[in-house]
């Protein structure tokens, strides 16, 4: 008999999850996926990212299946997980945008200023070479994103669309590459 604050169906699904029944997870996803994706969309305003969040929510449900209490109401639990993940992504995006602004400001302040066009081209070539040297030390995914960002002048949302990944993935990888790049800039221009 299900405990208060939950439905019989939720209690049955939880019991099946706790014995590693993958079909129970599929049934839960069929019942709640669209609602969870819609909830995530209300925060992130991107259908792709919302679906990613919904998928991550159900993965987390599966990963924590042995910790779920028998009286857990699944819809509120899944909604809370999705909401928290959406808010985490929004915070990460805000931090990434802030980091990007800081790096660009730091670069502008630390890079020597050219007195003429010839010097400016030389400095631009030197920066491109440094970007390539830094990129060569990075993992393939981070390298690809860093080069698309600097050499193709694509913004992170364009890169995400092009690579068919979540914008938060691009921001995370870009942040890794930019940290290495900033260290290289500091070493080159005191």
Specify the pLDDT at position 105. 65
Q: Are 46 and 34 in contact (CB under 8 A)?
A: no
> What are the helix (H) ranges across 64-139?
74-110, 117-136
CA proximity to 160, closest of 143, 150, 180, 174: 174
Specify the pLDDT at position 20. 96
**Cα–Cα distance, 28 to 33 (Å, whole number):** 8
Q: What is the pLDDT along the chain (190 residues), one digit of tens a residue?
A: 444 445 899 999 999 999 999 999 999 999 999 999 999 999 888 888 899 999 999 999 999 999 999 999 999 999 999 999 998 888 877 766 666 666 666 656 555 554 556 656 666 677 777 777 777 787 888 888 877 887 777 888 888 888 888 888 888 888 888 777 777 766 665 5
Q: Are 180 and 134 in contact (CB under 8 A)?
A: yes
Cβ-in-10-Å burial (0-12, 13-18, 19+) of 36 comes to buried
* Paired tokens of 104: 């660009």
**Cα–Cα distance, 168 to 152 (Å, whole number):** 19
Specify the pLDDT at position 28. 96
Domains of the chain and any CATH numbers: 8-89 (1.10.1740.10), 111-188 (1.10.10.10)
User: CA torsion angle for 84, 86, 92, 98 (degrees, to 10)?
Assistant: -120
């Amino acid at each position: 008999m299900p405990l208060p604050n939950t439905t019989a169906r939720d209690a049955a699904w939880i019991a099946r999850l706790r014995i590693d029944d993958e079909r129970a997870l599929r049934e839960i996803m069929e019942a709640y996926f669209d609602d969870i994706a819609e909830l995530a969309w209300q925060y992130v305003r991107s259908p792709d990212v919302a679906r990613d969040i919904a998928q991550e929510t159900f993965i987390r449900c599966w990963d924590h299946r042995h910790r779920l209490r028998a009286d857990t109401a699944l819809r509120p639990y899944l909604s809370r997980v999705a909401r928290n993940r959406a808010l985490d992504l929004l915070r990460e995006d805000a931090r990434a945008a802030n980091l990007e602004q800081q790096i660009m400001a730091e670069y502008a302040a630390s890079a020597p200023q050219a007195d003429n066009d010839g010097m400016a081209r030389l400095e631009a070539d030197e920066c491109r070479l440094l970007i390539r040297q830094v990129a060569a030390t990075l993992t393939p995914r981070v390298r690809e994103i860093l080069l698309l960002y600097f050499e193709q002048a694509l913004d992170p949302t364009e890169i995400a669309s092009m690579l068919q990944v979540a914008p938060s993935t691009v921001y995370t990888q870009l942040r890794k590459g930019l940290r290495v790049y900033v260290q290289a800039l500091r070493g080159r221009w005191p």
